[in-house]
Amino acid sequence: MSMFKYILVTLLPWIELRGAIPLAVKNHEACMIPLILAVNIFIFFPVYFGLELLYEYIVGNSLAKRKLEKTRKRARPYVEKYGMVGLLLFVAIPLPGTGAYSGSAAAWLLDLDWRHSLLAVASGVAIAGVIVFLLSTGLVAGLGL
């Protein structure tokens, strides 16, 4: 039953693994981290291919359209300067607005190949997962939780 808690937290936009990994560490359930990473990587498919199907139906100046354009604007410099490594770095930075949802959306918005983008997003998720895990275990150990 507890695995569903981690799946749900991981699927929440802007929380993703940044919330799920610390929760797993705090609850002494680090064995859930591979599940968290897999779910976070899976986010790529519905976002990338969902935008392919739905983008034209998103209304002109809607909140969703503004968020997507903000994502495009934030990711473009990384991708223009470093290519797929730039997308990887964009996803690997464990800050709100730079995770799997944003990276997957940026890949579609910037018209990047989905296979290469999936590899970049998955690698970025793995790096972000390591960073969040190290920060979480250090924080838990430091606070004696």
Q: What is the per-residue pLDDT for 141?
A: 61
User: How many distinct structural domains can be found in the chain?
Assistant: 1
CA atoms within 13 A on the CB side of 109: 21
Tell me the average pLDDT across 10-25: 94
Task: Answer whether 0.85 is exceeded by the pTM.
Answer: yes
Average pLDDT on 51-78 reads: 91
What amino acid occupies position 70? K
How far apart CA 102 and CA 23 sit, in angstroms, is 22
